[in-house]
Structure 1
Amino acid sequence: MKIEIWSDIVCPFCYIGKRRFENALANFDQKDQIEVIYRSFQLNPEIETDTNKTVVQYLSESKGVSLAKAEEMTAYVTQQAAIEGLDYQMDHAVVANTFRSHRLLQLALTQGLQLETKERLLNAYFIEGKNIDDIPTLIELANEIGLSNVSDTLHSDNYTDEVKRDIMESKQIGIQGVPFFVFNRKYGISGAQEAKVFAEAIEQSFKEWVAAPTATEI
């Protein structure tokens, strides 16, 4: 059975939701029959990478809130992440466009290493403060995982169409925020829900998939 997850690299709740989903899946007896695919989504396609701007400054400007309010927002997600064992370092996060990272994830999907790549990119952004729009940085991260054809991909427009396709599909489905989880093309869950919610969705959709394995359109 297939589970598709629309998410963005710079989305703090996407990493939190990933952990909660993984906890639910880990406790599912038939997890070896579940295929997880990450789909591309950009919270802000127009954002320009700026290594001189902090995330707090970016949030203040983009959401029209005070710096103090933006700091409260980052403090809250950092606290929520810590509950899931994630040590967010938001003070060091680099304001970056994620389109190039999504192309890397599309490449990783073709090589069966997408889950490892997704985790590495999220960790690099939220915990290590790396610029996930920088080609040398992405090549370094990809080499750690064992991806091939990385440089050729990033120095071309390869997998651009695949990223745009995922984004277009998210609009067709009606996704307005991420993370967004789609179970067997039938059930959708929005947000970083508790593991119990994911566990129930996995169990229900799997039972129906076993009974009628042909995926149902949303």
Structure 2
Amino acid sequence: MLIEIWSDIMCPFCYIGKDHFEKALAQLSFKDELEVVYRSYQLDPNYHHQAGDTTYSYLSQSKGMPIDQVRAMTGQVVQMAKQTGLVIDFDRSIPANTFKSHELIHYAASVGKGTEMKGRLFKAHFEEGLNIEDESVLVTLATEVGLDAAGTKEALSSDTYAYEVKQDLNEAKQIGIRGVPFFLFNRKYAVSGAQPTDAFVEVLEKSFSEWRESNPKITFLNPDKDAPSCTDDSCSI
């Protein structure tokens, strides 16, 4: 069953939501029958990092809020993350354009490393204060999850994965997504926000049960295990 998740690396609730969602997956007996695909979303596609910008100054300007109010707001998010075991450090985090990060996630997904890359980028941004708009930073992070440096550089310089990012962004508009994280289960049920783990378990069980009814599992019945047959490599003649 397909599960699609629209999120942005700059979004702390996407980081928290990812953690809650993965904890829900770990509780399921059918988790191996789920395909999780991360889709791209940009909260502020027009922003590009400028030297001296901090998360506080960025949020103050973009939301029109005093710095003290921004600090109080982000402090609540820090505590929310702490409760789930994550570290979010707004004193260190650097606001950045995330388009290249999304390209990297698509490239990583093409070799089965999409989830790992997503998690590494979140940690780099929120905990380590790295500039995820910097391509040299992205290449280093990619190698840390097992991707080839040369392949990563080529992926980031080509239009292949930029096209995929743009496709995700366009589809988000068509669906009507206006906030992230946004979870779409089997193209039927949608959940938004950093929901509690139990809520994710509930919707996963409901959507999978309905999906299973229309996609029954094949049961093999072989009364005679020695009956002659052919495989891809040979025939038992």
Range class of TM-score, shorter chain: over 0.9
Q: CA deviation at 1:174?
A: 0.9
What residue is the counterpart of 1:183 in the other structure? Answer: 185
Matched, 1:32 2:32: yes
Q: Deviations over 1:167-192 (max 9, x none)?
A: 11011111100000001111000100
What residue is the counterpart of 1:161 in the other structure? Answer: 163
- For 2:59 and 2:5, the matched residues in 1 are separated by 24
What residue is the counterpart of 2:84 in the other structure? Answer: 84
Report if the CA contact (8 A) 1:50-1:94 is conserved. Answer: no
Between Structure 1 and Structure 2, how many residues are aligned?
Answer: 214
Larger deviation, residues 152-161 vs 196-205: 152-161
SS at match of 2:91: helix
- For 2:124 and 2:59, the matched residues in 1 are separated by 20
- For 1:213 and 1:167, the matched residues in 2 are separated by 30
- For 2:160 and 2:101, the matched residues in 1 are separated by 12
SS at match of 2:191: strand
The percent identity for this pair of structures is 50
The within-5 A match list for 1:15-30 is: 15-30=15-30
Q: CA deviation at 1:54?
A: 0.8
Task: Work out which structure has the larger RCO, using CA pairs closer than 8 Å and 6 or more positions apart in sequence.
Answer: 1
What residue is the counterpart of 2:53 in the other structure? Answer: 53
Larger deviation, residues 42-51 vs 171-180: 42-51
Stretches (4+) displaced over 3 A: none
- The 1:85–1:51 alpha-carbon spacing in structure 2 relative to 1, beyond 3 Å, is farther
Structure 2 unaligned residues grouped into runs of 5+: 217-237
The within-5 A match list for 1:53-72 is: 53-72=53-72
Report if the CA contact (8 A) 1:51-1:95 is conserved. Answer: no
Greater radius of gyration (CA): 2
SS at match of 1:164: helix
The within-5 A match list for 1:1-218 is: 1-148=1-148, 149-213=151-215
- The TM-score normalised by the length of structure 1 is 0.96
Report if the CA contact (8 A) 1:40-1:163 is conserved. Answer: yes
Structure 1 unaligned residues grouped into runs of 5+: none
Report if the CA contact (8 A) 1:6-1:181 is conserved. Answer: yes
- For 1:94 and 1:179, the matched residues in 2 are separated by 20
- For 1:95 and 1:205, the matched residues in 2 are separated by 36
Q: Deviations over 1:67-96 (max 9, x none)?
A: 111111111111100011011111111110
- For 1:167 and 1:212, the matched residues in 2 are separated by 30
Q: CA deviation at 1:52?
A: 1.1
- The TM-score normalised by the length of structure 2 is 0.88
